Structure 1
């Protein structure tokens, strides 16, 4: 299956499927089928259609989707160009398909996109108590910068069950590849 994956930019027509995918990967009982769940940390949704439509209308933003040979949505990743840095977020894989290499390929596709955009660094924020996720990124050459960011106080995309904080991670890219 991994050799037939396709990575293409999402369009507004993809929004309903993206909302379902992202929310199932991070929140609620469905998310517990995978290892990326935030269900014990946050209640509520991870994203909504209005937010995704707004993202897709932003010129510096691409949501890269991952589909199989039958064009079924398996994953996605949010990419935002900020000068010579690419911010990567919302890396999502269907819960039942996690730990099969799709997330790794999505991450690599995001990094390739960063290089195409002439970015030298990829940055991201990760909830500080997500130790297994931080370790996963570290195995892929991302490093903690020492910087932190507050977790949003708006409950639009989740109600924290505890005090949360983001850590900032980054990876330098070789532009000679």
Structure 2
């Protein structure tokens, strides 16, 4: 028969596991949702207080489970899992149907690549300048990535010297002084 101390240690270890998951999940979840909301500074900071609230609730349940008789243990586990399912359901429905979410608020997807809206707006922005098709390809890569000229040349299958010539022509046509200026002009469009 296990001692009371081993039961307490078992529930304490479960408690620490759950709390670490809550802190990470809520903090990361709300930070990733924040850029797509109307008030990102508010939503980015919600994860930490919410994880603290769950820490308090779970600590009461775990301490109660570790110190109470075995008769109420199934009741508390059932209560805990029902509460967990309700919270997860509410969180998932909030993520999918929040009216404050805007598609234009997020400029990048999870991979860090430009999303479709940004690509279309880049095409529209490049249409404002008389660029050749190859210059458009080079301009797209100059703006989209921070890869060195050598990598851009390899991706397009042309020489570095050609990329430098195309870049100089792009800078002249757009009125940018350099690559950073080109990116700033695109962002400030």
Same fold (TM over 0.5): no
State the structure with bigger RCO (CA 8 A, min sep 6), 1 or 2. Answer: 1
Shorter-chain TM band? under 0.3
Greater share of helix residues, 1 or 2? 2
- Normalised by the length of structure 2, the TM-score is 0.25
- Normalised by the length of structure 1, the TM-score is 0.26
